[in-house]
Structure 1
Amino acid sequence: MTYSENKRLIFGLMAGAAGITLVILWYRKTKEHKKAVYSPTFSNLDKNFDLIDFPYDAHNDQGTVMLLQGRQLQILEKLNGLLVSVDKLKKEVQSLKEAIPKLEERVRNELEGKADVRRASPLHRATKKRKVETAQGVTDTTSSEEAESEGGYATAHTDTEGESEEEKGWISSSASTLTPEEKIELFNLLQDADRLHSGSDNEKTESYKLLLENEEKYRTSAGFLWRLARAYGDMFGMTADAEQKRNYASEGKLVAENAVNLDSSIAESHQWFAMMCGYMSQFETIQNKIKNGYLFKEHIDKARELRPQDPFLYYLTGRWCYEVAQLSWLEKKVAAALFGTPPTSTIHEALQNFLKAEEIHPGYSKYNYVYIAKCYKDLGQRNNALKSCETALSILPVNKEDEEAEKELEMLLPSLKL
């Protein structure tokens, strides 16, 4: 009901109530007139009186009018309250209509985040539970990872579920300057960051902001810094603006480098420094791109030494080998002029790393199968390439990386069919 309709209704009720009042007054006047005509006069009483002149009737008329007006006001107040309640109800119903789709999306995101029974891609792995050792304080624990790149040497990320530093029974030296209370606070902060990181894009953004707010306080903790670098990687993957991507990659690279300098025994620090070098390669000159390529390989190898059973590190190594094998003649000449010898690798080496990732964790990644198919195609093994494509197609796309892999499959399959 619109405001104009409400207004017309109120005026109508007021007019009706006024009409009823006039009818009642007319009836009483007519009745009084009849009484005046037919009522007798008592001349033998000390005080003669006539009904027409009886002052109580006039007073009674005024009281009746006031009473009816008071009731009109009460009715109008109740109607106005009713209209206000109806408007509020309409607003609440509208709010519910707007909230239901968002609630459905949130539930779907939460269910997808918890759907770790079937391995669909590197971005869907359950975060391993950790223990709090309050006597020793917090350690730089490992966690479930995810990140995306749209170029360079890395396009997906999930790290191992192997033993954490905490489970190995030692505390990172970079956190040794913190008090026991600060270590517990840091531990809770890192747990929150890991939880948010494994959620929706909004939760990843919240994790990034949370870590950024505490950077000054925990900048001496390598475990904090590599998670902040990971958050920069999340923001890099979520934004489409080229300048923002460059800024996130640049800042993330500096943070990850500081984490490596603080504690070179943490695999995640090397891993994220390598990945940030890969991200930066999208925006660099050929000279810097090749330099970042060397840094990428150096730190991925170091991370693999520290965590040899992580399939993702073999996947990244395979990507590096594949990209280097595809270097142009000009890029190889620039590398030779700058570094003496250019980076070298072959399609066969790339394939061995992709197959190693599959051996460690069968069905590890949709994209891993795509690159296995590419390698087989380049090596002339068409049947094996088709089998890998079929396996990749059997994995349903559940994230951006899988959607990109699906697009590459659509371009790859026609070249493999007769």
Structure 2
Amino acid sequence: MPRSANKELFLGLMVGTAGLTLLLVWYHRGRKPRTKFDSTFLPAQVRTHKALCSSPDPQGIFQDGQLKILDKLDELVAQVEALAEEVRGLRVALPKLEEFRRDGLGGRTALPRISPQHRARKRRAAQGQQQPNTSNSSEEAESEGGYLTANTDTEDQHFPTTWLLKSPVEELALEELLQKADSLRMDEAGKTESFELLCDHKEKFSDEIEFIWRLVRAYGDMCELSTNVDEKRYYANVGKTLGEKAVSSAPENGRCHLWYAVLCGQVSEFEGLQNKISNGQCFKKHLDIAIQLLPEEPFLYYLRGRYCYAVSQLSWLERKMVATLFGMAPTFTVLDARNDFLKAEELKPGFSKCNYAYLAKCYLDLEDTCEALKFCDQAKLLPSLSREDEVAQAQIEEMLGSLSRT
């Protein structure tokens, strides 16, 4: 390209640049200053966004804002969860509201804690709402006459809280009450009703020894009838405590020794080896005392026969353990057990299916199959009146099956 053309191009660029510069200067001088805008009229969200954008560290301020928002959301979630829990509680309580209202109008009082023996009584309470409430029994959570009651601290440690609607209790004289309690013990339902009846009157007759040993017996019945381990342990422990106090109060009463021995045996089912052996010795001791005081009672010989039979079945190692713990080992044999079972049969022929079953076991151990078959046949003729009888019936059928194969 010629040198003159280059000069012309360069001069043209310089002129154009100067013109643009002059144009920009004129534009800025010709603008009017604007009025400052008051940002306080903007919404809070816009002001916050504007502050974040104009901040020297907008990212840090934005993160702080996020954390505050998350904290608010956590508070909101916690409040919603609390509200949901209250709603669930209302759903549970509302169906019972009408029932509580009716009971409150009926003048009944709710007790905060009850023991398992009152479960059936709640059914009677519902029935009692149709009758006028002429009298109310008192269920105080304390000892009565030196005896443990159904509402002591021992019970509260083992059983859940529930509500009892009190029902009228039929007031009975002592003799009438004792006769009714005895007559009810014909089956499982009757034993439960007998127990409830005695519990209803335990305040009134807490000092009567004839009443107390029957209450001990009723606790033994409930322990036998219950299928829950915790309840069985509860009944056995409370019954044993009552029995111990009864024996201390009336050492010459054979029934007190009898049922205290029974409860000692029931408690031993839930103890370790050492306590089990100790309770077994207590069982035997009070059983012997009861036999001296009540020599014509067949049930005592049946119980002692069972104890002797159990001891006769101990292994050599178990006998050594007993000797190590207590200084001497029991020496009862199958013959001792058989003699006690025969004594019970002598005092009352056809005494029980269980007594026949144990006699058959003894004769099997003594290898006398004819006598074993005889008592198995006699046992089959008796009805099964309890769970113990049902177990005995199963054992008899098993023995008959083994004898038929020989």
State the TM-score, normalizing by the size of structure 2.
Answer: 0.55
Are the equivalent residues in 1 in contact too, given 2:258–2:287 (CA < 8 A)?
yes
**How far apart, in 1, do the equivalents of 2:369 and 2:199 lie?**
49
Superposed displacement of residue 215, structure 1: 2.8
CA spacing shift, 1:189–1:394, aligned 2, 3 Å = closer
Work out which of the residue numbers 265, 285, 294 in structure 2 matches 1:298: 285
Larger radius of gyration: 2
Matched residue count: 234
Work out which of the residue numbers 193, 197, 200 in structure 1 matches 2:181: 193
In structure 1, the partner of 2:393 is: 406
CA spacing shift, 1:358–1:192, aligned 2, 3 Å = closer
Q: Residue type matched to 1:272 in 2?
A: W
Are the equivalent residues in 1 in contact too, given 2:187–2:386 (CA < 8 A)?
no
Q: Residue type matched to 2:173 in 1?
A: E
- State the SS of the aligned residue for 2:296: coil
In structure 1, the partner of 2:372 is: 385
In structure 2, the partner of 1:366 is: 353
1:368-394 alpha-carbon deviations (Å, 9 max, x no partner): 111111111111112221122122122
In structure 2, the partner of 1:281 is: 268
> 5+ unaligned residues in a row in structure 2: which ranges?
1-171
**1:397 counterpart = 2:384:** yes
- State the SS of the aligned residue for 1:284: coil
**1:307 counterpart = 2:294:** yes
In structure 2, the partner of 1:85 is: none
**How far apart, in 2, do the equivalents of 1:204 and 1:244 lie?**
16
**How far apart, in 1, do the equivalents of 2:204 and 2:249 lie?**
15
Q: Residue type matched to 2:236 in 1?
A: A
1:382-417 alpha-carbon deviations (Å, 9 max, x no partner): 222112212212223344332221101122122223
**How far apart, in 2, do the equivalents of 1:292 and 1:262 lie?**
20
**1:264 counterpart = 2:257:** no
**How far apart, in 1, do the equivalents of 2:284 and 2:386 lie?**
27
Superposed displacement of residue 214, structure 1: 3.3
In structure 1, the partner of 2:213 is: 226
Are the equivalent residues in 2 in contact too, given 1:232–1:248 (CA < 8 A)?
yes
Q: Residue type matched to 1:363 in 2?
A: G
**How far apart, in 1, do the equivalents of 2:298 and 2:375 lie?**
17
Are the equivalent residues in 2 in contact too, given 1:252–1:276 (CA < 8 A)?
yes
Q: Residue type matched to 1:186 in 2?
A: L
- State the SS of the aligned residue for 1:357: helix
**How far apart, in 1, do the equivalents of 2:173 and 2:377 lie?**
48
**How far apart, in 1, do the equivalents of 2:381 and 2:186 lie?**
25
Are the equivalent residues in 2 in contact too, given 1:221–1:262 (CA < 8 A)?
no
Superposed displacement of residue 340, structure 1: 0.8
1:232-258 alpha-carbon deviations (Å, 9 max, x no partner): 012112210111111101111111111
Aligned runs of 1:79-118 on 2, under 5 Å?
none
Are the equivalent residues in 2 in contact too, given 1:220–1:262 (CA < 8 A)?
no
Whose relative contact order is higher, 1 or 2, with alpha carbons under 8 Å and at least 6 apart? 1
Aligned runs of 1:237-252 on 2, under 5 Å?
237-252=224-239
How many percent identity over aligned positions?
48
Q: Residue type matched to 1:298 in 2?
A: K
Aligned runs of 1:52-63 on 2, under 5 Å?
none
In structure 1, the partner of 2:14 is: none
CA spacing shift, 1:410–1:199, aligned 2, 3 Å = closer
Work out which of the residue numbers 293, 303, 306 in structure 2 matches 1:319: 306
CA spacing shift, 1:328–1:286, aligned 2, 3 Å = farther
Q: Residue type matched to 1:360 in 2?
A: L
Q: Residue type matched to 1:271 in 2?
A: L
RMSD (Å) for aligned C-alpha atoms? 1.8
CA spacing shift, 1:193–1:322, aligned 2, 3 Å = same
Aligned runs of 1:71-150 on 2, under 5 Å?
none
**How far apart, in 2, do the equivalents of 1:201 and 1:358 lie?**
24
1:276-312 alpha-carbon deviations (Å, 9 max, x no partner): 1111121111111111111111111111111111111
Superposed displacement of residue 199, structure 1: 4.3
> 5+ unaligned residues in a row in structure 1: which ranges?
1-183
Are the equivalent residues in 1 in contact too, given 2:188–2:386 (CA < 8 A)?
no
Q: Residue type matched to 2:315 in 1?
A: S
